Amino acid sequence: MTLVPEHIVGVTMHKRLGAIGHLFRYGVDYVLIDPEHETPTPALFSRNRFNLFSVHDQDHGGPMKKGRGAPWAREVLAENGLDDPSLTLHLLTQPRCLWYSFNPVSFWLVWRETDLIAVIAEVSTPFGDRHSYFCHADDFAPITQRMQIEKAKQLHVSPFQEIKGGYAFHFGILPDQIAIRIRHTNGAEGVIATLAGPRAPMTNGGLIKAALRRPLGALRTMFLIHWQALRLKLKGATYRTRPTPPQKEVS
């Protein structure tokens, strides 16, 4: 399944549940690419080299800044019973803008022909830690938008949330749009996070608009993370120090 590189002009929403509520929405630019094959791209987007926007293998698949890209994802699939070269990999991620890269969450999408059968949700933190969640249905049945896939929380993502409870993932990867919802539940506490936006071919014009609309891309994301953390602290949310990250890369 050949993929023309896509640009998702999306919106992300985070809603904190519990006694101290908090809500924010921001526009965000993601790209959807084939990480294993060379495909024509706009002049302002590159793979593994400097550009206005780019995706580098070292940013994905393994420890932060030491990733191995698609070979790592293939190893994860093989370890989980999907050692099948006919499966197609796509990567949904926020690209580097100029030199800077940070992705709170990226998604490796695994396709059997036109059926989405697995997703590796690659979660990274401002503390430099990363853990990935291997999501699939029983017997690797096709994942539908209404399906809920549950995984236990393993990584310290926010200093205002405990490493307890679990995630409920919903993946709506449709031909014309993307709608992903992740809910962390820990008793009455938790967070709902969403990413949604229309799918469209990547163009130089669209990338220029993204750079003007949201300057510095991923660096802006890091600034907004710290801004929202400050707002939560001022609201009285309990700050928890970073614990030792999990030894296992994928759960």
Transcribe 26-74 into DSSP letters: EEEEEEEE-TTS-----TTEEESS-SSEEE-GGGSSSSTT----HHHHH
Q: Which CA distances in Å does 161 have to 17, 117, 191, 250? A: 11, 30, 9, 20
Tell me the domain boundaries of the chain: 6-235
Quick one: tokens of 223?
């600034």
For range 84-93, the mean pLDDT: 96
**pLDDT of 103-113, one tens digit each?**
889 999 999 99
pLDDT at 87: 97
| Residue 211 CB coordination number (10 Å) | 17
- Check if the beta carbon of residue 3 is closer than 8 Å to that of residue 39: yes
In the predicted model, what is the mean pLDDT of the chain? 91
Structure tokens at 86: 């006919």
Share of the chain above pLDDT 70, in %: 100
Instruction: Render pLDDT for 16-27 as a digit per residue (tens, 0 to 9).
Output: 887 788 888 999
Instruction: Identify the pLDDT of residue 186.
Output: 83
Rounded average pLDDT over 180-194: 89
State the pLDDT confidence band at 215, using cuts at 50, 70 and 90: confident
Residue 148 pLDDT greater than 70, yes or no: yes
Q: Which carries the bigger pLDDT value, residue 2 or residue 82?
A: 82
Given CA atoms 198, 52, 221, 56 in this order, what sign does their dihedral have? positive
Alpha-carbon gap, residue 177 to 32, rounded angstroms: 11
pLDDT for 2 beyond 80: no
Taking 80 as the threshold, does the pLDDT of residue 179 lie above it?
Answer: yes
* Average pLDDT of the segment spanning 106-132: 94
Is residue 107 within 8 Å of 8, Cβ to Cβ? no
Residue 190 pairs in a beta bridge with: 17, 185
Find out whether 108 and 51 touch, Cβ atoms under 8 Å.
Answer: no
d(CA 162, CA 186): 8
Give pLDDT tens digits for 30-57: 999 999 998 999 999 999 999 999 999 9
pLDDT given for residue 1 in this prediction: 58
| pLDDT at residue 13, as a whole number | 92
pTM of this structure: 0.94
Beta bridge partners of 131: 123
Question: Is pLDDT larger for residue 165 or for residue 79?
Answer: 79
The pLDDT of residue 7 is 98
